Amino acid sequence: MTRVCNYGAEINRYMELTGENILKEWKKPLELFHEKEIVRICAPMVRYSKLPFRCLVRRYGCDLACTPMIISDSFVQSVKARDSDFTTNLLDRPLVVQFAARCGKDLADATEMIVPFADGVDINCGCPQRWAIKSGYGACLIKNPELIQDMVQQTRQRVEDDFPVSIKIRIHHDTRRTVDMCQRAEKVGVSWITVHGRTIEQRSEPCSLETIKLIKDSVSIPVVANGDIKCEADINDVRAKTGVNGVMAARGILTNPAMYAGHDSLPLQCLQDWLDISLSLGISFTHFHHHLMYMLEKILSKPERRVFNTLRSIPAVLSHLENNFGITMTKDFEIG
């Protein structure tokens, strides 16, 4: 049904090498919201928030991680799509799977398939890309709150009461419409709401913390702030100004996967961990290289970045990292 990487003796070997007890009981998402002052979440990112990166950020203070956005109808209909889009393992918990859907049945069918392997499902109601909106996915859904309600209700009928169903939204220009949409979603059983504090049209403008606070004050379920979360100071500022229960980082955590552990800049150990985890689990050169391009963005000078970006193979990248940073893949670090 889906590629699920399970390890036996390899897990014990991993724990011996790292000193991590990865088989300890993980906290379910709603337990995290109940117990923690602020839940730190890795955003769903197309191409980027795949298994190796999720495993990396979990080592650096990330409480909850999301898959990239998955198209629900393709996931249901195609074995190839399932094998391509969803891979997980024993290290990858708690995990929320994000689906893009345009009808309740597709979402409910897809959710049923991932329930044994995940700790929640999220409905993408915020992707502003033209192809998504043209196809009826993502941010266009905020203009159709009745459809959001129907998708939540149909999915709720297929899962246990304690299995979370959340939504990730952008905001309307009219904040009253946004609040009304969130309140209606709460009434049909949404577990929490992630709010990207920009409208569909906005890209780099500052997030509206005022709107996020208004939503938080208008519902009784957890609210997560998304947008412009790049360091611990941002987390503290957003929490103080909005009272949210969680924060979700995208670009910030790509540049510094250790940000949730309180590192304002990327520690070299994080680069080391990326080599070990990604190459052990298996990764395409493109994804391996692109992640490093983000991580090295603030470390390398512009001329140095140009050189690094021209590298075209994993051996070339490894040689570059060894020559410039003294970093090599840890010998015997293999978990698969």
C-alpha to C-alpha distance for 215 and 199, rounded to whole angstroms? 14
Confirm whether residue 44 is marked as ligand binding: yes
Residue 99 has pLDDT above 80, yes or no: yes
The single-letter code of the amino acid at 132 is A
Selected catalytic residue, list 127, 140, 207, 270: 127
Task: Please calculate the CA angle 180-118-207 and round it to the nearest 5 degrees.
Answer: 40
Q: Where are the alpha helices (DSSP H) in the chain?
A: 9-18, 29-35, 51-58, 72-77, 79-85, 104-114, 130-134, 145-156, 175-187, 209-218, 232-242, 251-255, 268-281, 285-295, 302-309, 314-325
**pLDDT for position 5:** 47
The single-letter code of the amino acid at 274 is W
Residue 330 banded pLDDT, cuts 50, 70, 90? confident
Residue 20 banded pLDDT, cuts 50, 70, 90? low
Confirm whether residue 291 is marked as ligand binding: no
Retrieve residue 66's tokens.
Answer: 């999301």
Residue 336 has pLDDT above 60, yes or no: no
CB hemisphere CA count around 201 (13 angstroms): 2
Confirm whether residue 206 is marked as ligand binding: no
User: Which residues, in sequence order, are bridge partners of residue 169?
Assistant: 125, 195
Read off the DSSP letter of residue 221: S
Catalytic site includes residue 127: yes
Q: Which residue has the higher pLDDT, 7 or 135?
A: 135
Give percent above pLDDT 70 in the chain.
91
Residue 110 has pLDDT above 80, yes or no: yes
Residues 64-99: b if buried by 16+ CB within 10 A, e if exposed: bbbbbbbbbbbbbeeeebbeebbbbbbbbbbbbbbb
Confirm whether residue 181 is marked as ligand binding: no
Average pLDDT, the chain: 93
Task: Spell out the domains of the chain, with CATH numbers in brackets.
Answer: 31-261 (3.20.20.70), 268-325 (no CATH)
Confirm whether residue 250 is marked as ligand binding: yes
Give the mean pLDDT of 196-212: 95
Q: What is the pLDDT of residues 275-290, one digit of tens each?
A: 999 999 999 999 999 9
* Contact (CB, 8 A) for 213 and 182: no
**pLDDT for position 203:** 87
